[in-house]
Amino acid sequence: MNTARRRPLSLNNLRAFEAVARLASFSAAADELFLTQSAVSRQIKSLEDELGAALFSRGTRHVEPTPDAQLLLRSVEPWLARLDAGVRQIREQRTRRRVNVHTFASFASLWLLPRIEAFQRQHPDIDIRVSAHDAMSDLDDPEVDLILRYCSPAQAPAGAVRLFGETLTPAVSRQLMERIRAGEAPAMARPADLARHTLAEEDDHRASAEYLSWRHWLAQHGEPTLQPRRWLYLNFTYQQVQAALAGHGVALARVALVSDALERGELVEPFGAAGRITSPYCYWLITSPAHRARADVAQFCDWVEAQAALTRTATGEDEAAATPPRPAR
């Protein structure tokens, strides 16, 4: 066997290949890499020799990747991206400390971002980077230090720290409740009254949606067939909350995420504590021992856990957990 084909591929050759494939041009790749066009051509030729396969069909005005090149590119692109991300993180850690937090959009908007200034005041030398998306992040990614997620206990990975549970409640704006009390809007004294109001529903097809839906809440309160005046379907929890705050309808709000708005009176629970229901899903902090060994990550994790304890107190979760169940009669 040709021993040249068993050696590790040259990183410089792979970078030249990725640039040519992405830009479809040897000259453009040379400009990007600060090389001459002949140097890039030599690197591609060297890589083709190492692989024993042609990578580009060269035309007069463009280059076309071969099927072998397309196969190689699918491996090279994400690998180079992760390598560059790791290098960036190492370089940045030598100047300023940064904690990379991955979470989902509604949690970032409603819970994390309203509180994060307090952490920055306490730790002005630590930068926070929040990436919000619905896909579960991978702790092997060098740009992920910790993850704040919503899932069932069975789905939480080993070592995950439970922050708080899930309680849901109907919520309306203070202005709408004042109009109801003044007789300027339909009453909302019992669940059946929701037939005269707009219900903001989260348009979600994940398993957790069973517990977040108005249908579930209505069934729990003896109105399984109730039809509201109209439905307002929205993709995200924070959109439901925004709709309620604007007076556009009744949100089935996640109490832990709106506890501050409830305390300030911006949102009101029309049915009080009797309108609250729980779900088996919880909010979690997920990180690895290697990441938590870093002082900046550990400080941010400790701060998140302290904020979560305040949320449990504000929602009555700690009090409920401390209260023993009444004995059966």
Average pLDDT of the residues in 13-20: 90
Domain boundaries, the chain: 3-93, 97-318
Beta carbons of 284 and 149 less than 8 angstroms apart: yes
CATH architecture observed for domain 3-93? Orthogonal Bundle (1.10)
pTM of the model: 0.68
* CATH classification for the domain delimited by 97-318, as one of 3.40.190.290, 3.10.129.10, 3.30.1240.10, 2.40.50.180: 3.40.190.290
Condensed to tens digits (0 to 9), the pLDDT of residues 186-223 reads 999 999 999 999 999 988 777 778 889 999 999 999 99
Smallest CA-to-CA distance from 186 within 177, 195, 196, 174 is with: 196
Q: Mean pLDDT, the chain, as a whole number?
A: 88
DSSP letters of 282-318? EEEEE--HHHHTSHHHHHHHHHHHHHHHHHHHHHTHH
| In the predicted structure, residue 325 carries a pLDDT above the cut 50 | no
* 231: enclosing H helix or E strand: strand 230-234
Condensed to tens digits (0 to 9), the pLDDT of residues 138-170 reads 667 767 899 999 999 999 998 999 999 999 999
In this structure, the strands spanning 161-173 and 230-234 are unpaired
- Phi and psi torsions of 280, nearest 5°: -80, -5
Q: What interhelical angle do 295-315 and 113-122 show, nearest 10?
A: 130
